[in-house]
Structure 1
Amino acid sequence: MAPGAQTPSSAAAERVDQLILLTERLTHLVALSAQAFEARRPQDAATYVEETGRLANLYRHESARIRGNPALIAGVGLAQRTRLVRATEAFDAVLARQSRAVGAAKTITEGLVRSIAEEVAAQRQKGATYGPGALPGPTAAATAITLNKRA
């Protein structure tokens, strides 16, 4: 073997170590994002979007590569495999937490938009009439705000 060349098991161990670090960093960023949503400060989560996206893409790529070729991590010891499993479980848990936080923020935002739209519609229906027996004129439909139930 050439000097500086890695054995297959040392290359696999290094790959797993790198995947563990990647997973832990991604978990940390998603947790920070979830905390921002839970604190009702989604603008703070925007700070992490770029790096989270970059790391998530790398994670997806590496995970698919290992799934497609399990030999890439063959020969890795039990302790290292256990660390990878634990890191992945923590990542899954924080993803679920973020999903709940984003879902709650979405529900709150939709409620606010709906309330504003209803208030605008109610104000338009009052109409401006003058004199005794005046009747409100026809009102235009509230079109300034569009509600999208899929958003």
Structure 2
Amino acid sequence: MPLDNQTLPEAPQPAERPTLSGHSARLAKLTVQLKDLIARETELLKERKPQEAKRLHGEKSRLMAEYKDTIGKLKVNEYQLGDKASPDRKYLRQLTDALRETIRDHARVVLRLKSVTEGLIRSVGEEVSKKNSPVVGYGRNASMRATGPVKPTSLSLNQVI
């Protein structure tokens, strides 16, 4: 039963799933694993748990490397998938389309969080700059004077999510 009244994408029915073997079976498995991992990372980011999402990077990098390697092997041995309209190709295309949609959703969340973070850093920097600006006033002889030198303030965020 779906949570939060969200409809989950339908998985291909067992009758629709071709019997994959070799590199194509490996590619199907990796595609599903990557899709699930990226969806989990996206949910963690939506829940404002970046440290937990960060823990998934090692596994995601490993899966992406295996995925790339398997794609390369399948390109060399493309005949294993049959003709252009074969059930194997259609099934892999469905899995790949689902992965692409998950990646697009992930990118939207990451870009939204990035713009929020940059806005916060910019506003904090502007506020610090205002508070540290020199006070200009008149001195004893009615001449303009500035207070002593202002200590420089820097603000940086050096964390990758």
- The TM-score, its normalising length taken from structure 2, stands at 0.69
Amino acid of the structure 1 residue aligned with 2:101: A
Q: Report how many aligned residue pairs link the two structures.
A: 136
Once the two structures are TM-superposed, the CA of residue 40 in structure 1 deviates from its matched residue by 2.6
User: Percentage identity across aligned positions?
Assistant: 26
1:110 has 2:118 as partner: yes
Query: CA 1:48–1:100 in structure 2 vs 1: closer, same or farther (change >3 Å)?
Result: same
Question: What SS does the corresponding residue of 2:154 show, helix, strand or coil?
Answer: coil
Aligned-partner residue type, residue 150 of structure 2: A
Q: Check conservation: 1:34, 1:98, Cα contact below 8 A.
A: yes
Q: Is 2:94 the counterpart of 1:86?
A: yes
Cα pair distance change 1:52/1:14, threshold 3 Å: same
Compute the RMSD of aligned alpha carbons.
3.3
* Alpha-carbon distance in structure 2 between the residues aligned to 1:40 and 1:85: 32
Which residue matches 1:55?
63
The separation in 2 between residues aligned to 1:29 and 1:96, in whole angstroms, is 14
Q: Deviations over 1:28-67 (max 9, x none)?
A: 0011111122223222211211111100011011112222
Question: Cα gap change, 1:123/1:139 in structure 2, threshold over 3 Å: closer, same or farther?
Answer: farther
Instruction: Answer 1 or 2: which has greater helix percent.
Output: 1
Structure 1 outlier segments of 4+, above 6 Å: 131-134
CA distance in 1, matches of 2:133, 2:62: 49
Once residues 38 and 68 of structure 2 are traced to their aligned partners in structure 1, the CA distance between those partners, rounded to angstroms, is 15
Name the SS of the counterpart of 1:45 in structure 2: helix
Paired residues of 1:36 and 1:42 also in contact (CA < 8 A): yes
Deviation, structure 1 residue 72: 4.0
- Answer yes or no: is the 8 Å Cα contact 1:33–1:45 preserved in 2: yes
SS in structure 2 of the partner of residue 62 of structure 1: helix
Task: Give the CA deviation at 1:136.
Answer: 4.8
Report if the CA contact (8 A) 1:120-1:142 is conserved: no
TM-score by length of 1: 0.73
Q: Superposition pairs for residues 2-151 of structure 1, below 5 Å?
A: 13-74=21-82, 78-125=86-133, 136-137=146-147, 139-140=149-150, 142-146=152-156
**Deviation (angstroms), 1:77:** 8.8
CA distance in 2, matches of 1:77, 1:55: 28
Unaligned runs of at least 5 residues, structure 1: 1-11
- Taking a change above 3 Å as real, the CA distance of residues 94 and 138 of structure 1, as seen in their structure-2 partners, is farther
1:145 aligned partner, one-letter code = L
